[in-house]
Amino acid sequence: MRSMTNTNWTRHLKIFLAATALSLSAIGAGTGQAWAVSDKQTIAQSIQTLQKSDRRWIQINLSKQRLIAWEGRKPVYAVLISSGKKSTPTRVGTFKIQSKYKSTRMRGEDYNVANVPFAMFYQGNYGIHGAYWHRRFGTPVSHGCVNMAPNHAKWLFEWASLGTPVVIQK
């Protein structure tokens, strides 16, 4: 039986539990080789897992500037969004809705917006919310959040619950 404490090699297993995604990487210390599952593959696996379930989940495609609300493999709502511009990009990955506010104030270095409607935060200050201050949906213009027309944000806010998976891809 080979000892697991052998210093010639090291294995690392990372389980990324966001939306039941599994990310596996192995590093051979003796060879300097490393194999890792890319973010793109992890996101694809998350989508595949969610489509096999009956769960509600949100998919955001940054290259198409589209948001789709899903119930398992059935799309139930689709809208144009405005994601982050190049200087303030929207993060890619698999997240979960952590908090919801019917109305909130959003502040940054160069903005201070009151009464932002139907905000759902999925990572820190990154969220999906209504935007009444512009109508350029389909174009990246935000500071990293996912902007929607307020009526669409209201629908999504009422449909999604805390813990709803959010998958953001390029």
Residues with catalytic roles: 129, 145
Residue 51 main-chain phi, psi, to 5 deg = -70, -20
Helix or strand holding residue 42 (H, E): helix 39-51
List the one residue out of 7, 162, 28 whose CA is nearest residue 97. Answer: 162
Consecutive H or E run containing 51: helix 39-51
Are 92 and 169 in contact, with CB atoms under 8 Å apart? yes
